[in-house]
């Protein structure tokens, strides 16, 4: 199983307690922004281009124009529960990433071209959606060339109700 598939499968092992106390979770998962279209979602991501974001687990990363294209690609949209959840996660990416934890480690896929990557990290954050709290998975690529930094490469709204565990 490929690491990205494994990391989506492992989202089923997440519990709300992993993200914080029962008092913290509702505010952490509450999303204040909405994006109803590709263009609105793209506008939110453009605001973040080049801005340094810090996860709850201490990982600092940025978003590049290439990241925006990847996050809004048809393939990325197809991986999320649905477009509405994906666009909501995009509109709230900054808040979600600030609440993201890294409970699992995944190696680089030896079957892919990894010459530009030193490491791949996958983080998860809780998001209230459709009367549930679901995990949003971030993939962060840590580049070999330190000037290129650490980039948020993709996100996925995963169909798991964390509140039912």
Alpha carbon distance 151, 60 (integer Å): 9
End-to-end Cα distance, the chain = 25
Q: Give the tens place of pLDDT for each residue, 104-119.
A: 877 666 666 666 666 8
If 0-12 CB within 10 Å is exposed, 13-18 middle and 19+ buried, where does residue 14 land? buried
Q: What is the pLDDT of residues 47-105, one digit of tens each?
A: 999 899 999 999 999 999 999 999 999 999 999 999 999 999 999 999 999 999 999 87
Query: Which among 132, 43, 160 has a CA at the least distance from the CA of 91?
Result: 43
Distance of CA 106 to the CA centre of its chain: 15
The model's pTM: 0.91
Q: Produce one character per residue of 120-154: b if its CB has 16 or more CB atoms within 10 Å, e if not.
A: bbbbbbbbbbeebbbbbbbbbbbeeeeeebbbbbb
Q: What is the per-residue pLDDT across 122-142, written as a single tens digit (0 to 9) for each? A: 999 999 999 999 999 999 988
Count the helix, strand and coil residues of the chain and give each as a percent rounded to the nearest 5. Answer: 40, 25, 35
Number of domains in the chain: 1
* Domain carrying residue 159: 3-164
């Amino acid at each position: 199983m490929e690491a990205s598939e494994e990391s989506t499968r492992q989202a089923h092992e997440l519990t709300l307690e992993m993200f914080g106390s029962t008092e913290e979770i509702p505010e952490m998962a509450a999303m204040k922004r909405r994006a109803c279209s590709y263009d609105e979602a793209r506008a939110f991501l453009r605001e973040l281009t080049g801005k340094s974001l810090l996860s709850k687990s201490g990982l600092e990363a940025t978003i590049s124009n290439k990241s925006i294209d990847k996050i809004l690609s048809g393939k990325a949209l197809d991986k999320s529960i649905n477009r509405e959840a994906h666009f909501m996660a995009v509109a709230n990416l900054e808040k979600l990433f600030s609440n993201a934890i890294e409970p699992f480690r995944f190696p680089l896929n030896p079957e892919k071209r990894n010459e530009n990557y030193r490491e791949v990290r996958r983080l998860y954050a809780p998001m209230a959606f459709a009367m549930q709290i679901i995990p949003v998975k971030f993939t962060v690529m840590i580049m070999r060339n330190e000037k290129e930094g650490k980039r948020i490469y993709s996100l996925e709204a995963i169909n798991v109700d964390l509140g039912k565990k």
